[in-house]
Structure 1
């Protein structure tokens, strides 16, 4: 499947954008991360990763961290995939970062909106030609401000406990599940994570099975969950009562 995907999309290679990628300084990275604004931060980190991937050292701890943080901010399976590919050679991500990336990564052809990213990625097209620079570190960044912008994203290890025996719903067998335990793995702005985790506990949903899974939660600034025709709403601290907005 991968080779078929790449073979078909390679025919479009002439349409790729050959413009010089925008260079991003460490100061710009620090300012964007500190802002606590997902929209601002993700545009800067995506630009920085694009520049690093086209630069003289595409494989480095710096580019691995850029790919991971871009994936975190955008919920991008492509960027999580690239973060793991780079990390395989430089061993720079933490165990928690690897857990998030492994759970959220995507593969070529899995999502149509990511097809061009995989096609024109140097990590996919010519991985053997890429320079490895293990001595290019990622800079220390300030803590992201809480309560900024209207959006927050989190990746959590969630435990869903089965409440009742399985039953039929819309032609499939499901269970009533309750969220009984939440572990914050990573997110932005991270300082809001513990409070949001406590607010998520007790949510209910339908599912095929219970147990532990890694999940993505997006708050804009609230997140709605539907269960038994009842709307469950969880909002970021300071945004209680806000109307749900779509990104």
Structure 2
């Protein structure tokens, strides 16, 4: 699905140039659930923005399915994003003036889905993330966990092949964090949705299939998650 080869991305400030991604190479296969770890400033969010085609690379090659991304226009990137990618953010990014139902429906309007199909698909995902009973509420009337479930519903209502999640549990308590992680794992295992998740929570990596640790804009470790038998701890094995 994704292959990056020796990509770099830097940002120039007033007095200094910061190399956020430094000659990085990796591949992501369809159906993987990849957790991306690392300290602040290591390039995690920049990598997610590059893979989501929200940011461009300075050098190297980025292939998404069969498309060489660095060679196409911004308009073509927008088409790929709309067709294949769903985003989940730490800050939820819900529209305050829209209800739960309207927030979830919005991407389908952009996709020009018919009104009847929009209604059906929105109701399906609201049931799936257990937010149907809040359909007429505004975001301000929801808890943090409920807002994130709405954000997940909005991300999956278009049935994307890839979900990019940037600290999806960062603003949640432990109970709501676990519920969100269970939802993401269900999407991966039952729907086959590929998930790339940036996280500061090492305890959440066992929900996925692979862990990539970044340091100074480079891949430090790349490990497969080994699912433990009952009563045993989880662990990762370097690959």
User: What is the TM-score when the length of structure 1 is the normalising length?
Assistant: 0.24
Structure number with larger C-alpha Rg? 1
User: Higher strand share goes to which structure?
Assistant: 2
Report which structure shows greater RCO (CA 8 Å, sep ≥6). Answer: 2
User: What is the TM-score when the length of structure 2 is the normalising length?
Assistant: 0.25
